[in-house]
């Protein structure tokens, strides 16, 4: 991968353990880092974000090579991995930190995010009104080290085996068939 050509995208689609592990499997993704964005507290901790009082969302910041995987493809994965019609929650994960949000860095990226949102809505995959925020990016705070690659290290942790594992299997089947995954 040509590191000079890399771009970044930051978004939240519920628990970052689910989202981060899937994006790290994609061809063209240099890294997917779990973290926090969209709040008012500098350098928040997981415990602080979980209170819902910092305003942050659990997010993943993806560094990717657009010559291998496009912004539009990443958006397709994003909308596959979470339900964008659930306000401030994903399943049993409830709170503003689990909101559906796309952070854009400039006007061109905002337009691409809005187009991806409209395309997903038109697909009919999710029933209901989309609540995904399209918000100006300000700052990304990496989550604590133990959150990075959490599922890979803790696949038998109850939440991981009940929620994350099945989501990853569904993801691998779908995007594996499309040839978008790195070789194991």
CB–CB of 103/58 below 8 Å? no
Candidates 15, 18, 22, 160; catalytic one: 15
Q: How do strand 133-136 and strand 100-104 relate by DSSP bridges?
A: parallel
In whole angstroms, give the CA distance from residue 166 to residue 159.
11
Distances 160 to 34, 52, 62, 152, 156 between C-alpha atoms, Å: 15, 22, 21, 9, 6
In whole angstroms, give the CA distance from residue 172 to residue 72.
18
Contacts of 73 (CB under 8 A, 6+ apart): 180
- The question of whether 160 is a catalytic residue gets the answer no
In whole angstroms, give the CA distance from residue 8 to residue 88.
24
Q: What's the CA dihedral at 104, 108, 112, 118 to 10 degrees?
A: 90
Which residues are known to be catalytic? 15
């Amino acid at each position: 991968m040509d590191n000079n050509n890399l771009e970044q995208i930051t978004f939240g689609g519920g628990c970052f353990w689910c989202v981060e592990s899937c994006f790290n499997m994609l061809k063209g993704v240099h890294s997917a880092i779990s973290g926090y964005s969209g709040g008012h507290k500098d350098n928040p901790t997981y415990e602080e974000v979980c209170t819902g009082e910092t305003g942050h969302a659990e997010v993943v910041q993806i560094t990717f090579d657009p010559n291998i995987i496009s912004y539009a493809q990443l958006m397709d994965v994003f909308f596959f991995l979470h339900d964008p019609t659930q306000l401030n929650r994903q399943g049993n994960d409830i709170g503003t930190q689990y909101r559906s949000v796309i952070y854009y860095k400039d006007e061109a990226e905002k337009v691409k995010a809005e187009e991806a949102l409209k395309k997903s809505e038109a697909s009919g995959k999710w029933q209901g009104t989309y609540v995904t925020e399209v918000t100006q990016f300000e700052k990304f705070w990496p989550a604590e080290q133990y959150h990075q690659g959490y599922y890979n290290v803790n696949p038998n942790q109850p939440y991981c085996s009940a929620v994350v594992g099945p989501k990853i299997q569904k993801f691998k089947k779908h995007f594996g068939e499309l040839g978008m995954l790195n070789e194991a």
